[in-house]
Amino acid sequence: MKTLSNWTLLSTTQTGVELEVEGKHLLRISVLESSLFRVSLLKNKEWRLDRSWTVAPGGEAPLEGRHRDSLAGFSSPSCEIEVGEQLRLQTDSIRLTISQPLHFCWECRIGGEWREFAQDRTTGGIMAGVRDHRHAHFLARSPEEKVFGLGEKTGLLERSGRRYEMRNLDAMGYDAETTDPLYKHIPFTLTRTKTAGCWSIFYDNLAGTWFDLGNELDNYHKPYRSYRAEDGDLDYYMRWAPELGELATEQAKLTGGTAFPPRWTLGYSGSTMSYTDAPDAQVQLEGFLDHLAEHDIPCDSFQLSSGYTSIGDKRYVFNWNTEKVPDVHAMTEKFRDAGVHLIANIKPCLLQDHPRYEEVAQAGLFVSDSEAEQPERSLFWDDEGSHLDFTKMETIRWWRDNVTRELLEKGIGSTWNDNNEYEIWDDGARCHGFGSEIPVNLIRPVQPILMTRASEAAQKRHAPEKRPYLISRSGAPGLQRYAQTWTGDNRTSWETLRWNIRMGLGLSLSGFFNIGHDVGGFSGPKPDPELFVRWVQNGIFHPRFTIHSWNDDQTVNEPWMYPEVTDHVRAAIKLRYRLIPYLYTLLWRSSAFNEPIIRPTFLEFPGDENCWLDTDDFMLGRELLIANVVEPGASSRVVRLPEHPSGWWDFFQGTWHAGGTVIETPVDIGTIPVFVKAGSIIPLGIGANRADPRAETGREIALFPVPGPGSSDGELYEDDGVGVDAPHSHLCFSLSSTDDKISLNWSQNGTEQSFHKEALLTLPASETRPLSIRDQEQPAPVMANLVDDSGNG
């Protein structure tokens, strides 16, 4: 690669400027929003790949990809352009100065003053391949900056000092502290500076890439950080914001937002490889329902692992093993009658001896070999196979029809799109590209997105009145528009429990909000009773709550696997169901307003420097601080409460604590430390054994007022939980207090009344002030009518 140095101004445009670099390349700077610039290098003035599947500011990208020249969906505000010895572009928020030799300096406006927040390495910022399409971008690195993002990466949430690779892999049994790379390709970082706010950079390139955030040192350069790509285009989005949370929200918006799945997806989801691998799979699966009833465990869904497709010891997508599952319709009917939704595992690779391999090969539906007019061959699940090419409409139709016939029409309403890393290491293997051929190494992470979209199309066509639910393990930014995801096949250990928390927060900071982990650990030894309980107690606070396993000794991670702790597991799961009204409101907000569901404490309390230190604690929404026990044999849990001026309430004990203090709370195996930000209003469910709002026997509105004078608000979003554009209730609460009393009021802003016309209003156990409900003083706890005489809230 060669450093790009010399440039001249070619033209100013309606959205920015175009430069000619080294007399042959085009460098385009586009002002997309006041705080968002885009920098695009067209080598030899041509795109390497002229389409993007990740950028979708309008909420959707065309199947064939969005042309990179498109600026649709951005406001493209006017900017000041100053031409002189330096070139300067300026909006109300950002100023970019380009100097000779090629160098970018980024500044933000804070209080009328311009402050530098980022700049290219002074000894060369951009490099490009001479005979290939490799490229690199180098930024100056400050030891004071903190770097986050890159999705589900292992190790510390703060990424400085490490090197990371983006190359989708099926990393079963990974070490949650060190393994790299993993399943997803998320080339996005967020950086906090000491004096100039926060900034993010998103590289819209899905070829193999590396991020070095201070691991590499070179005597010929001052400290730097780098992005290197083996192919593709240098096309990046630079954004500035005062706080890090805005960057996470805006990244989700840039890449199309978040799907809003059905409410039942927040319930406990069972899963294990063992049931469908068993010769009597149907008996095992139906027995799961019996055990739920026997042990009084609420459950809303079951994820059907791929063993149902087996022939011998291998798996064949869309093939039903009728010896294992002799009557699939009877089985799905039993699950439906029990109110438990089924989600089937499907894979995008057909093994070479798949009963339908030749049919699919003859139809030309596979990714093609780089040299011969035949399907590519790759290792896949103990054999070789060929991957379906979802950049071809015929493949999409074939997939959609098979999802419909083999799953949906048999009573399985949702899809688990798995093993879709597309580990095709013949980089020149050819994808159809919707009529314009593309080598697979440029779009490997696009294939799982398109696979998921094909599954979604089948589900929408089959049940157009219902919101679809899909899961996908692999992908890139934009996947979250369609599917929930998780951190893959983790290994059972206490260390994994701790490090998975950080992996989930890394995803959430990177624009993936509907996420979770395999509770109990997927591979390796079975969890011991204490570890299993603690993992369940952690899992209930993540959007995806699934107990899944493929234990070495063929045991199954089930809520009742250890009778001596089943009561604790049941209690944790029932707490999950109690929280579902709150969780569903968060899920709705993630879709409607691009807000993270789980979040690091520093996202809510950026001014508290202690929150930027490594911690096992995290926030669920803006209100709940989760301080799970994640160490064996613990008899106490030390918690540092963030600096919230109104303090914190213990969710269970009802005691108040000052913000910024360190407390040590005693714990036993059943203890789940949860604290509530004072001023919060938490909607809770009563008596539910399903996530359906009609399964609740009542509603509780838990009030956690500030200890002195103050006011706050809260909300509850409800609909039928499944319908597209369903009528909804949106209750907006206001809570105020003085030294002498607490007052609650609310309004109805939705299109429907609340599911529960009355709610139990509660206060913390140690709160002694009287409660006034719409100016009428009443003792708490008290039932209150949420609907007035006119039928409105």
> Mind listing the pLDDT tens digit for each residue in 170-222?
999 999 999 999 999 999 999 999 999 999 999 999 999 999 999 999 999 99
pLDDT (0 to 100) of residue 400: 98
pLDDT (0 to 100) of residue 793: 47
pLDDT (0 to 100) of residue 754: 86
Average pLDDT over residues 410-429: 97
| 782 compared with 273, residue with greater pLDDT | 273
Which residues, 6+ apart, have CB-to-CB distance to 198 below 8 Å? 117, 190, 191, 192, 240, 241, 242, 243, 244, 246, 247
Question: Do the beta carbons of residue 268 and residue 296 sit within 8 Å?
Answer: no
Domains of the chain, CATH where assigned? 2-59+72-254 (2.60.40.1760), 263-347+393-420+466-592 (3.20.20.80), 598-671 (2.60.40.1180), 679-785 (2.60.40.1180)
Other CB atoms within 10 A of residue 523 CB = 17
Q: How confident is the model at residue 357 (pLDDT cuts 50, 70, 90)?
A: very high
Question: Do the beta carbons of residue 708 and residue 735 sit within 8 Å?
Answer: no
Task: Using alpha carbons, list the distances in angstroms from residue 463 to 262, 558, 719.
Answer: 13, 31, 18
Q: pLDDT at residue 792 above 50?
A: no
Q: What is the mean pLDDT of the chain?
A: 96
Q: pLDDT at residue 789 above 70?
A: no
Q: Determine what percent of the chain is predicted with pLDDT higher than 90.
A: 95
Q: How far apart are CA 737 and CA 593, in angstroms?
A: 29
pLDDT (0 to 100) of residue 73: 97
Burial class (CB in 10 A: 0-12, 13-18, 19+), 286: middle
Q: pLDDT at residue 63 above 70?
A: yes
Q: How far apart are CA 718 and CA 710, in angstroms?
A: 27
Question: Do the beta carbons of residue 754 and residue 731 sit within 8 Å?
Answer: yes
pLDDT (0 to 100) of residue 319: 98
The pLDDT tens digits for 405-414 are 999 999 999 9
DSSP SS3 for 239: strand
Closest CA to 358 of 382, 380, 386: 386
Question: Do the beta carbons of residue 377 and residue 404 sit within 8 Å?
Answer: no
Closest CA to 558 of 200, 229, 302, 254: 302
DSSP SS3 for 451: helix
Both tokens of 578, joined, read 């109690």
Both tokens of 394, joined, read 């015929």
Q: pLDDT at residue 745 above 80?
A: yes
Q: How far apart are CA 723 and CA 707, in angstroms?
A: 41
Q: How far apart are CA 474 and CA 167, in angstroms?
A: 11
Q: Determine what percent of the chain is predicted with pLDDT higher than 70.
A: 99
pLDDT (0 to 100) of residue 755: 85
Q: pLDDT at residue 787 above 80?
A: no
Task: Using alpha carbons, list the distances in angstroms from residue 281 to 297, 310, 317.
Answer: 21, 11, 17
The pLDDT tens digits for 549-600 are 999 999 999 999 999 999 999 999 999 999 999 999 999 999 999 999 999 9
Query: Could you tell me how many residues make up the chain?
Result: 793
Q: How confident is the model at residue 343 (pLDDT cuts 50, 70, 90)?
A: very high
Average pLDDT over residues 378-400: 97
Backbone phi and psi for residue 458, each to the nearest 5 degrees, phi listed first: -65, -45
Residue-wise DSSP of 250-305:
HHHHHTT------GGGGS-EEE-HHHHHSTTHHHHHHHHHHHHHHHT----EEEE-
The pLDDT tens digits for 474-532 are 999 999 999 999 999 999 999 999 999 999 999 999 999 999 999 999 999 999 999 99
pLDDT (0 to 100) of residue 226: 98
pLDDT (0 to 100) of residue 550: 95
User: Backbone dihedral region of 197: left (phi > 0), alpha (psi from -120 to 50 degrees) or beta?
Assistant: left
Strands 7-13 and 729-737: unpaired
DSSP SS3 for 333: helix
Residue with tokens 């087996």: 310
**pTM given for the model:** 0.97
Other CB atoms within 10 A of residue 414 CB = 25
